[in-house]
Amino acid sequence: MVSSSSFLLLVALLALVSWQAFASDPSPLQDFCVADKNSPVLVNGFVCKNPKGVNADDFFKAAELDKPRMTNKVGSNVTLINVMQIAGLNTLGISIARIDYAPLGQNPPHTHPRATEILTVLEGTLYVGFVTSNPNNTLLSKVLNKGDVFVFPVGLIHFQFNPNPHMPAVAIAALSSQNPGAITIANAVFGSKPPISDDVLAKAFQVEKGTIDWLQAQFWENNHY
């Protein structure tokens, strides 16, 4: 007979294994599952296209990631290639992004709720970092030069900033999801529709309601294209 303590330990281990199995995009059960974006069936991801109708274009996009992009008022432009651009990424658990930074531009604090990110600098210099979860909220940051690589763990708030006032910077990032999602903190908090009550935000940030009203009146521009 298995003792109660051993049984509980076994249950805990099985729960941990199960959690790890579902902690990211599910593994494919066949060679590929090209997204059928016209299917009326709703699933977690996309229904598979009939493999007999799949061709090389389902795995291709002339994305021109070698060409610079215009940046916005925060000084960055994120060009994401995910399952919405390449249907063949469905179930494969990966996507890629080119990020352009103007001089003194930044990719402001944000999170990816469904992906870990690994970033490499192609041109210029970046000051990057992420903040650990409560209660410590420790900032881990680094200055990256051309060829350097940095990892941002899934779900944690992170940022990139180009400290050079004269030269732009470029990075490429890979993300561990076909659809990593992005939540830009300022946009979500002060630019939500409908807006969060200024009473709530004034209390949360310990400032006057007038400050919150001013922040909510700003145009919170999206830098993900």
- CA nearest to 68, candidates 138, 159, 170: 170
User: What's the CA dihedral at 109, 111, 117, 122 to 10 degrees?
Assistant: -30
Strands 106-111 and 158-161: antiparallel
Task: Give residue 19's pLDDT.
Answer: 44
* Both tokens assigned to 54: 């799949």
Return d(Cα 47, Cα 38) in angstroms, integer: 9
pLDDT, position 4: 58
Token readout for 121 is 């600098």
Give residue 107's pLDDT: 97
pLDDT of residue 224: 77
User: Nearest-CA neighbor of 169 among 102, 107, 82, 90?
Assistant: 102
pLDDT at 219: 84
Q: CB–CB of 111/82 below 8 Å?
A: no
Domains and CATH numbers, the chain: 57-184 (2.60.120.10), 192-220 (no CATH)
Annotated binding-site residues for Mn(2+) read 110, 112, 117, 158
In tens digits, the chain (225 residues) has pLDDT values of 455 555 555 555 555 444 444 445 767 788 999 999 999 998 888 999 999 999 999 999 999 999 999 999 999 999 999 999 999 999 999 999 999 999 999 999 999 999 999 999 999 999 999 999 999 999 999 999 999 999 999 999 999 999 999 999 999 999 999 999 999 999 999 999 999 999 999 999 999 999 999 999 998 888 876
pTM: 0.85
CA distance 106 to 55: 38
Residues 6+ apart with CB under 8 A from 28: 91, 92
Binding region:
107, 110, 112, 117, 158
Q: What pLDDT shows up at residue 189?
A: 96
* One-letter amino acid for residue 79 of the chain: T
Alpha-carbon span 182 to 191, nearest angstrom: 14
CA distance 214 to 208: 10
Annotated binding site for oxalate: 107, 112, 117
> For residues 63-77, b (16+ Cβ closer than 10 Å) or e, as one string?
eeeeeebebeebbbb
What pLDDT score was predicted for residue 26? 67
